[in-house]
């Protein structure tokens, strides 16, 4: 796939804004898919008749697939380009959740569901890197920091998915039907907007095409990012942020049901509160970043996440526990998008560094579900969430790695 625009074309304001709007939707679709699955997790547990530890092992299917997809992602993006990778990655994501829904409803089959989640995870991991690379390129074309808003649209997708999941639960809709409809919506949506997405190398910070020493041009160059200390520190930061976010995605509904005694429908709604708080945090994140910078915002975010978790875990009153969920959601909002922006600071290393950082971050999704699940067997899922506090403290300590680069020249904003 061509990395440059056709001769004679101009990347004018209209095309940049159309690209931005398309990426908004691209970020929303994986959020819709994830929340559609997570919001039905208590019902999946009941259908499969499994313990918390077995639920953790089931979720490992997503994690194993995600790590596999992330490791391959920079090579796939380099070979096919972000636009093609995003398109077929979302199609595969839709296929994965549809397979999972069929496995749970028409069996039920734990093994078949695990395979479906592996497909879902691998496709999501590949798409994640491609859409962040494209989003970072669009950010440079716009001349302003809007990565948190892109990630806010992921949260918008999770809000829609969580609400739809709660309604599906109330209506008794079969899991296969629910997830199949969500998958079909994803496929239709990406084919409607893909023509507006520009190649990721269409623009450099100074308006020139990316130079020949772009690290994405060889597999050795892409792998060299793993020896870079800043890449590794940003990866640890993203790992902590992903654990804070992912532990809620995987376990908040079940922790609410088991630890606070609410029903499955309320558990899905509490998860919806979390993703709503994350969305608000991401929409407000651009203002905070402009005012205080990445490092201060990151440290404040991790502090809010810790306070929210402490309230949710130790305060038995459900209304106050929901306040804790709000703080937890606000505190989890900005770590991942800030880490992705920091990884993409240099366009010449963006794809390779984003892939490496995302791979480290997604390790949280590999080890998090089984660790919390196994701890939950002995302490309950609610108290097993204390492990998130340790990682949040580590994330605060390494926040300095995401500090903004020294400006070498300004690009006039397009909007």
**Cβ atoms of residues 130 and 85 within 8 Å:** yes
CB contact at 8 A, 349 and 357: no
Nearest to 230 by CA among 408, 395, 407, 400: 400
Q: How far apart are CA 207 and CA 209, in angstroms?
A: 7
Instruction: Give the pLDDT band of residue 220 (cuts 50, 70, 90).
Output: low
The terminus-to-terminus CA distance of the chain in angstroms comes to: 29
How much is the pLDDT for 8? 37
- Indicate yes or no: pTM above 0.85: no
Q: How far apart are CA 6 and CA 163, in angstroms?
A: 42
Look at residue 415 in the predicted model and tell me its pLDDT: 43
The residue ranking higher by pLDDT, 53 or 62, is: 62
Tokens of 153: 């649209």
Residue 14: count other Cβ atoms within 10 Å of its Cβ: 10
Q: How many Cβ atoms from other residues are within 10 Å of residue 393's Cβ? A: 13
* Average pLDDT of the segment spanning 205-216: 47
**Which residues fall within 8 angstroms of residue 33, CB to CB, at 6 or more apart?**
93, 94, 97, 120, 124, 157, 161, 182, 183, 186
Kindly tell me the burial class for residue 9, based on how many C-beta atoms sit within 10 Å of its own C-beta (0-12, 13-18, 19 or more): exposed
Cα 280 from Cα 326, distance rounded (Å): 10
Residue 203: per-residue pLDDT = 61
Angle CA(142)–CA(143)–CA(146) in degrees, nearest 5? 70
pLDDT at 239 over 50: yes
Instruction: Please state, in angstroms and rounded to a whole number, the distance separating the CA atoms of residues 371 and 377.
Output: 10
Cα dist from 190 to 84, 98, 107, 194, 333, whole Å: 11, 17, 31, 6, 25
pLDDT value, residue 93: 96
At 307 the pLDDT is 94
Nearest 5 degrees, angle CA 23-CA 27-CA 30?
A: 140
pLDDT tens string 136-160:
888 878 877 788 899 889 878 988 9
Per the prediction, the chain carries an average pLDDT of 84
User: Per-residue pLDDT tens for 361-399?
Assistant: 877 766 776 788 888 888 888 888 898 888 888 999 999
Neighbours of 229 (CB within 10 A): 8
* Helix spans in 143-228 (H): 147-171, 175-193, 219-223
What DSSP element (H or E) covers 267?
helix 264-292
Nearest in space to 87 (alpha carbons), one of 25, 164, 158, 147: 25
Please report which confidence band the pLDDT of residue 166 belongs to, taking 50, 70 and 90 as the band edges.
Answer: confident
């Amino acid at each position: 796939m061509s990395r440059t625009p056709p001769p004679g074309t101009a990347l004018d304001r209209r095309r940049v804004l159309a690209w931005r709007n398309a990426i908004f939707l691209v970020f929303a679709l994986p959020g819709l898919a994830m929340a559609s699955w997570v919001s039905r997790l208590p019902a999946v547990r009941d259908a499969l008749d499994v313990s918390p530890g077995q639920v953790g092992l089931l979720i490992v299917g997503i994690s194993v697939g995600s790590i596999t997809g992330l490791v391959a992602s920079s090579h796939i993006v380099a070979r096919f380009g972000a636009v093609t990778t995003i398109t077929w990655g979302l199609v595969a994501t839709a296929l994965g959740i549809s397979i999972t829904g069929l496995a749970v409803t028409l069996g039920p089959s734990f093994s078949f569901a695990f395979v479906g989640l592996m497909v879902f995870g691998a496709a999501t991991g590949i798409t994640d890197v491609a859409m962040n690379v494209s989003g970072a390129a669009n950010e440079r074309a716009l001349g302003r920091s809007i990565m948190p808003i892109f990630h806010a649209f992921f949260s918008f997708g999770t809000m829609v998915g969580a609400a739809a999941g709660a309604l599906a639960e109330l209506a008794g809709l079969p899991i296969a039907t629910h997830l199949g409809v969500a998958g079909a919506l994803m496929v239709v949506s990406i084919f409607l907007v893909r023509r507006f997405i520009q190649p990721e190398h269409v623009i450099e910070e100074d308006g020139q095409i990316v130079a020949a020493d772009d690290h994405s041009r060889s597999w050795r160059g892409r792998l060299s990012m793993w020896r870079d200390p800043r890449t590794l520190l940003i990866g640890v930061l993203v790992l902590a942020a992903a654990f804070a976010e992912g532990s809620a995605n995987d376990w908040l509904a079940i922790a609410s049901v088991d630890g606070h005694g609410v029903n499955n429908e309320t558990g899905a709604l509490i998860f919806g509160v979390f993703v709503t708080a994350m969305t608000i945090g991401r929409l407000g994140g651009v203002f905070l970043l402009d005012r205080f910078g990445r490092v201060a915002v990151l440290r404040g975010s991790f502090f809010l996440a810790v306070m929210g978790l402490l309230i949710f875990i130790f305060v038995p009153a459900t209304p106050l526990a929901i306040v804790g969920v709000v703080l937890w959601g606000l505190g989890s909002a900005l770590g991942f998008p800030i880490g992705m922006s920091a990884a993409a600071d240099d366009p010449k290393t963006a794809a390779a560094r984003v892939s490496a950082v995302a791979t480290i971050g997604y390790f949280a999704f590999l080890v998090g579900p089984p660790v919390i699940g196994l701890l939950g067997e002995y302490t309950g899922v609610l108290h097993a969430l204390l492990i998130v506090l340790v990682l949040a403290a580590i994330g605060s300590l390494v926040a300095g790695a995401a500090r903004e680069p020294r400006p070498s020249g300004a690009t006039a904003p397009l909007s």
